Amino acid sequence: MSTGNTPPPGPADADPGKADLDAALPLVYDELRALAQQYLRRERPDHTLQPTALVNEAYMRLTSQRQVDWGNRAQFFGIAAQMMRRILVNHAEARNADKRGGQLTHVTLDEAVSWSGARDLDLLELDEALARLADLDPRQARVVELRFFAGLSIEDTATVMSLSPATIKREWTVAKAWLRRELTRG
Amino acid sequence: MTSTSWEREKALFLDALAQPADTREQWVFTHTPDEEALREAVLSLLTAHDDADEFLETPAASLMSDGLTDPASDVLTVQRTGPYRLLREIGRGGMGTVYLATRDDGEYRHQVAIKLVKRGMDTDVILARFRHERQILAGLDHPNIARLLDGGTTDTGLPYFVMEYVAGCSVREYAELHGLTIDQRLTLFHTICGAVDHAHRNLVVHRDLKSGNILVTTDGTPKLLDFGIAKLLTPGVDEGVTASSTLMALTPEYASPEQLRGERVTTATDVYSLGVLLYELLAGQRPFPSTGRRVEDLAQLVRDTDPPRPSDAARASGHRDAPQLRGDLDTIVMMAMHKDVARRYASVAQLSEDIARYQQGLAVRAHGDSFGYRATKFVRRHRPILAVATLLFVALVGGLAASLWQANRADIERARAERRFAEVRSLATGFLFDVHDAIRTLPGATPARAMLVQRGLLALDGLAREAQGDTALQRDLAIAYQRIGDVQGNSYGANLGDTDAALVSYRKAVELLESLGAARATNPATRQALVESYRGLAAMLNITGELPEAVQYLEHALALQRPLVAADPSPARRQLLANLLQELGDVRGGAGVSNVGDTKGAMAAYGEALAIRETLLRERPTDIDVRAGLATLQLVQGSLAITLNDSKGAGTVRRGVAMLETIVAEHPDDAVRRNELLSGYARLRVPLVNAGDYAAAITIDRKVLGAMQGMANDDPQNTLLQRNLSVSYNNLARDLRANGQATQALPQHRSALVIAERLWHADTSSMEHLQDVAFTEDVFAEALADAQVWPEALAMYARAIASKQRLKRAEPANPWHADDLGFLYAGLGAALVATNALPASSSAYDKAVPLAESAVTRQEGAPKARGVLALVYAGVARLHLARASCGEAMTWHAKAERHWSELATMQALTAADIATRADVARAMSQCKGP
């Protein structure tokens, strides 16, 4: 993996049940990756396609297996967001390799959907910028992970981070501006 | 970039955003006069912000799936659908995607929403469901339901339908954003009920009613959306949705118990979800928040437990509307959300009618569950525990039970009642005493404690009515009242911050115990209960500002406790005696707390307490309560010594902090001690600040603030922690300001003020909270003045003075308020000089001077009061300088100098005094010319 600066999964705080969770992380990762791949290949015609739903579904499937104490949903979402980031970044890298025969030119996410109004966004550049943001302001980087990679709403992000929605909104505003500036500086 | 400069950049950026768009740049220039790099950084962030509207707003996975799948065919076909041009995606559902689109044929260019089945999903099942939703929408025509406008098939054969596009936000967001009153919320809800009722009349159950599915347009019209999992009640029509996939699509927070059980869904399900929505709109939170819960736990909770009443939930989270919710609104919500379908409103129309009746002041139809019904539920829920309790009970009163066998039928009935009575009583006291005590010190346990105590008290209250004259029960009840008082408001421990309620509980406890003759009771436990109740009452009176009464109750408590200790000097009794003495010291003259200004009396009480605590520690060197007791006493005694300019004070505080550090390291879960340790750190800053070592003080402040934020996050309903968080923000801000970083102090003060005001609004009977507001306004005003933000500084001084005057009226026995007012008027006077409003400044100083002078007299020349007086005199000197009357200025400067030089000989000049003194001397030099 060329970026190498995606943080490793795992909660930073000591929580009851953390040991369980750590042991089970590979399981979560596999589950999420399988779901994401189905999702990205559109193999799931019968289900909601929101990324939130995807993480939620992974959670429900894993809890229904009852093998591990997964802690609460907020904890799970927090970890899943980091994993989603890694999965999607890996995916984007793999695609670049496929498309350009391994050259370093990045494919933009929406090169085919210019009508959608979204601006060009290079996921790998974003991932690198986000790692820099994490050095400067870890909390903001986390908000971006939860909002952009796990697709959580402001309110859900607030729940996961145990902060008020107003705080999240503020951090999100600053983080977006900061990342935007990083990415346009070239 | 260092983290401090990033914090500044961030703060300036956010503050700039709060300015009108066209003045932002100018604003940034004004606030970064000499810092070009910082200015550039903030400006470039602002530019990036303007450029970032849609940036990152679509989640990564959604972007990727669009961009990475078969772009050529898919995108081209969906760019245009019939006469509609697609603009952007606005939502996704199980079957397809919703796009914003326009119809631009001819002069009309209005926006619509188009729902489109996605390519590759056009299986028979999906197509059937899609047609089903379209069919449902086609049958509904109501101003508050998003309208179906058109439908058809794309060139590639995929079905689509066109709906009215609703630009707006969710109903809860709307209500919060616009600060709707309860009445306005009810009106909005009533309109929503109309839309749901319309659907029901057309045999459609929505099944997924929630805030996010009801958008409110900018003109305030709610629109019901997303009939994606709606069900047609027409027999024979199967919508082709399997039970499991419907369950997946549900939102557990809103789903009805019968939905979660997978049972038949009727219109009653929508009534339930409307109940949840109403709950959320009124209480500002959901009845079963998903926070920290697993999905299946949440589902179980919804199925098996009753949520707290909206008023209780609102009150616990400090919502200002809580009192208005109590009564009918609680009852309406609880009836709509009843677990038992048969006990819910029979229709949405009935619910909606009750809302209207409430708004017109008529009696509502909703009725709460009777005591009997609740008791039955209680017994059913707790059957296993109850079985054990019953066995225990039978063992205890076997004799009585035996005699009952021979009694007649009426007696058997009575015996049955008595047995149930005893069972409930043992359960209730179990809740109150055992479980409550077990979780008392756990972080985050405050709401659980409140629930336990409330449930237990409810049961005991009911029993007390049935059993007048049972003295043992009356005593239990009194103790229960005392315990609930602790949970409601005792600021010596974690509490819910409801002073009024706590005061009532303690008074009930005192009345009951006094009527039982507890003061002369032979049973020491009864006397002990009275002591504890007096103590709690005193704590509440302390908060409400009735300080002399608080002193009086503490003295009553001491008068009872001393003979108890003499009769049996057990460690627990001596510990309580020391607590009472320490608290008496606090009210008499404790540092940094409301008091009657008797510092000598305070030192005497602390001294007696100290002797007891030190003896206890020698006897029981490992007992955590004993160690923590001594440590906290050292904190308060040392702090008072510091303010009295006693050089040993700082050492005493440090010893207390060291002891608490060891205790917290041994017991990391003990939230109470952790909080005490943080307050100890905060006390350590005082000697540092007095010595002018602001950098060291700031380091302490940041440490305390960080830890306090963590603790407050863990237990957000704990008022004590919120208070301390506010104090921590203020401390950091004050030291930043003293260190010449006034601009950075401002956001910290703002955070402190927000918290202080929230606490005060939640409990306006607490003078302690008003004191925090006044104090924060005071220091905030000073920081604003230092940062030279004059209009805001003047306004803040005015607010601080108004709050202080209110406090002075509420607490006539607290002499410090007058002293503080003198200081505030002086600050206002100085700010007015700076803005060249000299006549106004002169009248401010006219008030400040006599107040500051009498403060020095009252405090018998205490250094702090003299420092303030010198500051006031120096301010008047500056006023005269501004008027160019050197003679007057020199007179006042001389008065200030007299106090400063005396303070200097006492070695009691603080660093701030020294700085002010030098400043004024420099300013005076203009008068020394020829």
Strand-pairing partners, residue B159, are: B153
Q: Which amino acid, one-letter code, is at B135?
A: Q
Residue A77 at interface with chain B, using a CB cutoff of 8 Å: no
Local structure of B740: helix, strand or coil: coil
Task: Tell which wins on pLDDT, B32 or B930.
Answer: B32
pLDDT-based confidence at residue A151 (cuts at 50, 70, 90): confident
pLDDT above 70 for A3: no
Residue B56 at interface with chain A, using a CB cutoff of 8 Å: yes
The two tokens of residue B91 are 């939502």
- Alpha-carbon span B887 to B885, nearest angstrom: 6
pLDDT-based confidence at residue B388 (cuts at 50, 70, 90): very low
Candidate from B406-410, B438-442, B686-690, B749-753 with smallest mean pLDDT: B406-410
**Mean pLDDT across B92-107:** 65
* Interface contact flag, A115 B75, Cβ < 8 Å: yes
Task: Tell which wins on pLDDT, B830 or B407.
Answer: B830
**Mean pLDDT across B416-430:** 57
Q: What is the pLDDT of residue B124?
A: 63
Q: What is the ipTM of this complex?
A: 0.72
* Interface contact flag, A181 B44, Cβ < 8 Å: yes
Residue A68 at interface with chain B, using a CB cutoff of 8 Å: no
pLDDT tens-digit readout, B52-79: 767 887 777 665 554 333 332 333 345 6
- Alpha-carbon span B483 to B919, nearest angstrom: 55
Minimum-distance CB partner of A118 among B6, B54, B248: B54
pLDDT above 50 for B201: yes
Q: Which residues of A touch B87 (CB under 8 A)?
A: 115, 117
pLDDT-based confidence at residue B920 (cuts at 50, 70, 90): very high
CA distances B917 to B168, B835, B907, Å, are 59, 22, 15
DSSP annotation of B433 reads I
Candidate from A9-18, B246-255, B329-338, B902-911 with smallest mean pLDDT: A9-18
Task: Tell which wins on pLDDT, A6 or B207.
Answer: B207
Q: Which residues of B touch A169 (CB under 8 A)?
A: none
Q: What is the pLDDT of residue B735?
A: 92
Q: What is the pLDDT of residue B880?
A: 94
pLDDT above 70 for A118: no
Candidate from A43-57, B81-95, B349-363, B858-872 with smallest mean pLDDT: A43-57
pLDDT-based confidence at residue B417 (cuts at 50, 70, 90): low
Q: Count Cα neighbours of B919 within 13 Å in the Cβ-side half-sphere.
A: 12
Q: What is the pLDDT of residue B374?
A: 40
pLDDT-based confidence at residue A175 (cuts at 50, 70, 90): very high
Q: What is the pLDDT of residue B584?
A: 95
**Mean pLDDT across B865-874:** 92
pLDDT tens-digit readout, B612-660: 999 999 998 888 889 999 999 999 999 899 888 888 888 899 899 899 9
Q: Which residues are CB-neighbours of B129 under 8 A, at least 6 positions away? A: B94, B95, B239, B240, B241
Task: Tell which wins on pLDDT, B731 or B305.
Answer: B731
- Alpha-carbon span B627 to B31, nearest angstrom: 50
* Interface contact flag, B59 A73, Cβ < 8 Å: no
Q: What is the pLDDT of residue A70?
A: 43
pLDDT-based confidence at residue B234 (cuts at 50, 70, 90): very low
Q: Is B291 exposed, middle or buried (0-12, 13-18, 19+ CB in 10 A)?
A: middle
CA distances B439 to B301, B386, B450, B626, B671, Å, are 21, 21, 11, 20, 11
Q: Cα A115 to chain center, whole Å?
A: 25
Beta strands in B730-792 (DSSP E): none
Task: Tell which wins on pLDDT, B341 or B67.
Answer: B341
pLDDT-based confidence at residue A155 (cuts at 50, 70, 90): confident
Candidate from B188-202, B392-406, B776-790 with smallest mean pLDDT: B392-406
Q: Which of B263, B68, B18 is nearest to A98 (CA)?
A: B68
The two tokens of residue B628 are 């923590």
pLDDT-based confidence at residue B606 (cuts at 50, 70, 90): very high
Enumerate residues 301 to 320 of chain B having a beta carbon within 8 A of any beta carbon in chain A.
none
Whole-model pTM: value is 0.41
Q: Phi/psi zone of residue B251: left (φ > 0), alpha (ψ -120 to 50 degrees), beta?
A: beta
Could you give the strand order of the β-sheet that contains B222-224, starting from the edge strand earlier in sequence? B168-170, B214-217, B222-224
Mean predicted lDDT score pLDDT of chain B: 78
* Interface contact flag, A112 B94, Cβ < 8 Å: no
pLDDT-based confidence at residue A60 (cuts at 50, 70, 90): low
Task: Tell which wins on pLDDT, A76 or B18.
Answer: B18
Q: What is the pLDDT of residue B250?
A: 52
In the A/B pair of chains, how many CB contacts fall below 8 A?
A: 177
Which residue from B minimizes the CA distance to A69? B294
Local structure of B169: helix, strand or coil: strand
Q: What is the pLDDT of residue B437?
A: 57
Contacts 24+ apart (CB under 8 A), B182-186: B182/B282, B182/B321, B182/B324, B182/B325, B182/B329, B183/B359, B185/B281, B185/B282, B186/B355, B186/B358, B186/B359
State the nearest Cα–Cα gap between B532 and chain A, in angstroms. 36
Which residue from B minimizes the CA distance to A46? B94
Task: Tell which wins on pLDDT, B247 or A93.
Answer: A93
Q: Which residues are CB-neighbours of A176 under 8 A, at least 6 positions away? A: A144, B49, B52, B55, B56
pLDDT tens-digit readout, B437-457: 555 555 555 566 666 666 666
State the nearest Cα–Cα gap between A68 and chain B, in angstroms. 13
Q: What is the pLDDT of residue B524?
A: 77
pLDDT above 90 for A177: yes
**B157 phi and psi, to 5 degrees?**
90, 10
- Alpha-carbon span A157 to B288, nearest angstrom: 18
Q: What is the pLDDT of residue B395?
A: 28
- Alpha-carbon span B452 to B487, nearest angstrom: 10
Which residue from B minimizes the CA distance to A140? B10
Residue listed under structure tokens 């004993």: B626
Task: Tell which wins on pLDDT, B120 or A170.
Answer: A170
How does B184-194 read in b/e, with b if 16+ C-beta sit within 10 Å?
ebbebbbbbbb
Candidate from B204-213, B666-675, B915-924 with smallest mean pLDDT: B666-675
Q: What is the pLDDT of residue A14?
A: 38
pLDDT-based confidence at residue A17 (cuts at 50, 70, 90): very low
**Mean pLDDT across B227-255:** 49
Q: Which residues are CB-neighbours of B830 under 8 A, at least 6 positions away? A: B785, B841, B875, B878
Task: Tell which wins on pLDDT, A41 or B409.
Answer: A41
Helix, strand, coil share (%) of chain B residues, nearest 5: 70, 5, 25
Note whether A180 and B48 are within 8 A (CB).
yes
**Maximum mean pLDDT: which of B230-234, B289-293, B828-832:** B828-832
pLDDT-based confidence at residue B665 (cuts at 50, 70, 90): confident
- Alpha-carbon span B189 to B409, nearest angstrom: 53
pLDDT above 80 for A23: no
Local structure of B113: helix, strand or coil: strand
pLDDT tens-digit readout, B549-601: 999 999 999 999 999 899 888 888 899 999 999 999 999 988 877 788 898 99
Q: What is the pLDDT of residue B456?
A: 64
Q: What is the pLDDT of residue B109?
A: 57
State the nearest Cα–Cα gap between B6 and chain A, in angstroms. 8
Q: Which residues are CB-neighbours of A56 under 8 A, at least 6 positions away? A: B295
pLDDT-based confidence at residue B279 (cuts at 50, 70, 90): very high
Q: Which amino acid, one-letter code, is at B52?
A: A
Angle at B96 between CA B95 and CA B100, to 5 degrees: 150
* Interface contact flag, A180 B55, Cβ < 8 Å: yes
pLDDT above 50 for B158: yes
Could you give the strand order of the β-sheet that contains B84-92, starting from the edge strand earlier in sequence? B80-81, B84-92, B96-103, B110-117, B159-164, B148-153
Task: Tell which wins on pLDDT, B124 or B917.
Answer: B917
Report percent pLDDT > 90 for chain B. 24
Minimum-distance CB partner of B56 among A73, A112, A148: A148
